[in-house]
Amino acid sequence: MRGVFTTVKFLRNEIFKNVAAAAYENWSVEQIENIPNEVLAEGAPNYRDSVELEREIVRARIKAAMNMEMGTNFSEHFIEEDLAALKHKKVGRDLVTVIPQACEACPEKSFFVTNACHGCLAHPCVEVCPVNAVSLIDKHAYIDQEACIKCGKCYDVCPYGSIVKNDRPCVAACGVNAITKDEVDRAVIVSDKCVSCGMCMVACPFGAIVDKSEIYQLVDALNGPDEVCAIIAPAFVGQFGDKVTADQVVEGLLQLGFDDVGEVAYGADITAVDEARHFLKHVPLDQPFLATSCCPAWLQVAKKELGPKAYCVSDSASPMVETANYLRRTFPNTKIVFVGPCSAKKFEAAYLDVQNSVDYVITYEEINAMMIAKGIDLAKIEPTQKLNHASVDGRGFAISGGVLSAVENVVKRLDPDRVIKVEKAQTLSECKKLLMLAKAGKRDGYIIEGMACPGGCVGGAGTIIHQTRATANVTNFARSSERSSALKTYEESKP
């Protein structure tokens, strides 16, 4: 539901905005605990069965937005952690979680006949059912839910599309089968399987799934004495409004309190060159193929699915880490904040980045709420600096196929005669299929790319606009770069 400003989006924005205000203005526990009363006034319930249930859910959202442990206490006095200690708390492994009170315990996969059924003479739905669960009643098809084995054959053959498939949106969106249910059929995320891609969060129409945020901790850092620099991922273009330029977004970050802003696309350029050189040196001599991505959710899946061929996964630093390391060398005492489209990057910074290069990860959705809390109107501000760190290649990493394109471009410049075979996949379920083909030896000599989100990073859980629109924005921004190749950035990066 990206690109549609739903009630779920409204509530998330309200929570993030209030949490940012609480951090900027150093609100007391009592003031923070009053947020549900401000968001939901007395009277008839707006969304649920009662106002108190709505407020319980808002309290849970606040706990997630402040990086608190969810627990089970959603009473009026729900803050059980010390605010001073909370300002320095890092995200835990249970990054994406379900708010039980908000989950509607949607029915599991099932098939239903709608009023569009024509009761046709052929009735193929009846004929193909292997367990005789479909019959004709009063000239209309009927499915016996107790007998149905959910095979979907009736759904596939209906000439009118009169049979609909009903599935849990969160389950359908999860590409790693990480969602199960509790004793009353509410969704539960299995943390050992979850890769924090956030697609279940995007899919849930009740907003029952949330990820933890570091807004509260970041604002404290911005208010502190240390230098804080932002590195912004290339999917940001157009996320904050059609009339907002990339340079205005940079200026907005500076007005939030960041000391400097850099492009993660710079690190993408460095990564593209490293991977191109690795491919030329090692494929197929030392390894049958090269699997690559800037997606930490894909990385976890790829290493697991490939098993003994996991060594074929690129070991280059991610663009986020590469960019952060560059800043660390230049400004060793600065705090570094990754601003991006993705909840999985929070997991990467906390658990996959062995160098601890990044201090905080914040999404476009969260940073937008911070700007609202500070009264910053991006469309009206005058930029004071221009982004000019990266090439067309690096800026294209945000789009499905962008990593492949960048690496391929560099390979062709380094070895024009080299024949390159490439293939990409988006969404984890499709990525697993491609990885299995590679594992079986059917993609030898290839560079393969995977992205957990539809469209690539532009479809991440922390984005604001639809991925189709975002793809066009990123493509146009990439083309505006003064550098035509990642090699140019790579050469300039060397002392």
Specify whether the CB–CB gap between 74 and 101 falls below 8 A: yes
Name the region of 427 (left: φ>0; alpha: ψ -120 to 50; beta: rest). Answer: left
What is d(CA 234, CA 395) in angstroms, rounded to the nearest whole number?
A: 5
Q: Closest Cα partner for 405 from 437, 446, 435, 449?
A: 449
Residue-level pLDDT, tens digit, the chain, 495 residues: 667 788 999 999 999 999 999 999 999 999 999 999 998 877 778 888 899 999 999 999 999 999 999 999 999 999 999 999 999 998 888 899 999 999 999 988 899 999 999 999 999 999 999 999 999 999 899 999 999 999 999 999 999 999 999 999 999 999 999 999 999 999 999 999 999 999 999 999 999 999 999 999 999 999 999 999 999 999 999 999 999 999 999 999 999 999 999 999 999 999 999 999 999 999 999 999 999 999 999 999 999 999 999 999 999 999 999 999 998 888 889 999 999 999 999 999 999 987 889 999 999 999 999 999 999 999 999 999 989 889 999 999 999 999 999 999 999 999 999 999 999 999 999 999 999 999 999 999 999 999 999 999 999 999 999 999 999 999 999 999 999 999 989 888 765
Is 76 in a helix, a strand, or coil? coil
What's the pLDDT at 365? 97
Q: Closest Cα partner for 322 from 369, 273, 288, 392?
A: 273
What is d(CA 226, CA 378) in angstroms, rounded to the nearest whole number?
A: 25
What is d(CA 294, CA 365) in angstroms, rounded to the nearest whole number?
A: 20
Bond into 284 cis (ω within 30)? yes
User: Right CATH number for 110-166 from 1.10.3720.10, 3.30.70.20, 3.20.20.150, 3.40.190.10?
Assistant: 3.30.70.20
What is d(CA 485, CA 467) in angstroms, rounded to the nearest whole number?
A: 25
What is d(CA 495, CA 107) in angstroms, rounded to the nearest whole number?
A: 60
What is d(CA 407, CA 123) in angstroms, rounded to the nearest whole number?
A: 52
Q: Closest Cα partner for 316 from 301, 294, 333, 297?
A: 294
Give the domain ranges of the chain. 1-89, 110-166, 218-493
Radius of gyration of the chain (CA): 24
What is d(CA 364, CA 350) in angstroms, rounded to the nearest whole number?
A: 19
**CA within 13 Å, CB half, 76:** 6
What's the pLDDT at 495? 55
Per-residue 3-state assignment (H helix, E strand, C coil) for 249-265: HHHHHHHHCCCEEEEHH
Tokens 């986020």 sit at which residue?
A: 320
Dihedral pair phi/psi, residue 154, rounded to 5°: -65, -40
∠ CA 298-299-301, nearest 5°, is 65
What's the pLDDT at 354? 75
What does the chain come to in residues? 495
Q: Find all residues with CB under 8 Å of 474, minimum gap 6, and list them.
A: 234, 235, 237, 238, 395, 396, 398, 399, 458
∠ CA 404-410-416, nearest 5°, is 110
389-425 burial string, b = 16+ CB within 10 Å, else e? bbbbbbbbbbbbbbbbbbbbbbbeeeeeeeebebbbb
What's the pLDDT at 494? 66
Identify the H or E element spanning 271.
Answer: helix 264-282
Specify whether the CB–CB gap between 196 and 96 falls below 8 A: yes
What's the pLDDT at 339? 98
The token pair at 164 is 């609909």
What's the pLDDT at 301? 98
Is 476 in a helix, a strand, or coil? helix
Identify the H or E element spanning 424.
Answer: strand 421-426
Q: Closest Cα partner for 358 from 197, 174, 187, 233?
A: 233
Q: Find all residues with CB under 8 Å of 160, minimum gap 6, and list them.
A: 116, 117, 118, 120
The token pair at 225 is 């004495």
What's the pLDDT at 25? 95
Tokens 């401000």 sit at which residue?
A: 38
Tokens 């490939």 sit at which residue?
A: 306
